[in-house]
Amino acid sequence: MIKEYDVIIVGGGITGAATARDCAMRGLRTLLVERGDICDGASGRNHGLLHSGGRYAVTDREGAEECIRENKILRRIASNCVEPCGGLFITLPEDSLEYQENFVKCCLAAGIEAEAISPKEAMRLEPSVNPRLIGAVKVPDASVDPFRLTDANIIDAIRHGAEILKFHTVTSFVKENGRVVGVKVLGHGESTEKEIRARQVILAAGIWTAQLAENAGVHIEMLPSKGALIIFGHRVAGMVINRCRKPSNADILVPGDVVSVLGTTSDKVPLDTIDDMHATPQEVDLLLREGVQLVPSLAATRIIRAYAGVRPLVMAGGEGDGRSVSRGIVVLDHESRDGVPGLITITGGKLTTSRLMAEMVTDKVCEKLGVKVACTTAVKPLPGSERRHPKNEEPYFKRAAIGRHGTEVSRMDFERGREIICECEQVTRAEIAYAVKTLGVRNISDLRRHTRIGMGTCQGSFCIRKVAKVLAEELGQPEKEGEFINDYLQERWKGMTPVLWGDTLREAEYMQKMHGNEV
Is residue 170 within the footprint of ligand FAD (CB under 6 A)? yes
Candidates 115-123, 306-314, 332-340, 486-494 — which segment interacts with ligand FAD by CB under 6 A? Answer: 306-314
Among 140, 233, 263, 341, binds ligand FAD (CB under 6 A): 263
How many residues does the structure list for the chain? 519
CB nearer ligand FAD, residue 135 or residue 224: 224
Of 75, 148, 311, 398, the residue at the interface with ligand FAD (CB under 6 A) is 311
User: Does 227 contact ligand FAD by CB under 6 A?
Assistant: yes
- Range 2-16 burial, b when 16+ CB lie within 10 A, else e: eeebbbbbbbbbbbb
Q: Which is nearer to ligand FAD, 170 or 401 (CB)?
A: 170
- The count of chain residues that interact with ligand FAD, using the rule CB under 6 A, is 41
DSSP, collapsed to helix, strand or coil, labels residue 306 as strand
Angle at 306 between CA 495 and CA 294, to 5 degrees: 165
Q: Which is nearer to ligand FAD, 212 or 412 (CB)?
A: 212
Buried b (16+ CB within 10 A) or exposed e, 469-489: ebbbebbeeeebbeebbbbbb
What's the CA gap between 76 and 57, in Å, rounded?
23
Site for ligand FAD in 29-68 (CB under 6 A): 33-36, 40-43, 45-49, 51
What minimum distance in Å lies between the beta carbon of 518 and ligand FAD?
27
User: In the Cβ-directed half-sphere of 397, how many Cα atoms lie within 13 Å?
Assistant: 15
Closest CA to 65 of 108, 104, 22: 108
Three-state SS at 333: strand
Site membership for ligand FAD, residue 16 (CB under 6 A): yes
Within 10 A of 342 (CB to CB), how many other CB atoms are there?
A: 21
Nearer to ligand FAD, 313 or 458 (CB): 313
Q: Is 450 in the site for ligand FAD (CB under 6 A)?
A: no
81 in contact with ligand FAD (CB under 6 A):
no
CA pair distance 180, 219, nearest whole angstrom: 15
Q: Cis peptide leading into 192, omega within 30 of 0?
A: no
The one segment of 6-14, 237-245, 436-444, 461-469 that binds ligand FAD by CB under 6 A: 6-14
The stretch near ligand FAD (CB under 6 A) out of 72-80, 310-318, 388-396, 483-491 is 310-318
Which positions lie near ligand FAD, rule CB under 6 A?
Answer: 10-16, 33-36, 40-43, 45-49, 51, 169-170, 204-206, 208, 212, 227, 229, 263-264, 309-312, 347, 349-352
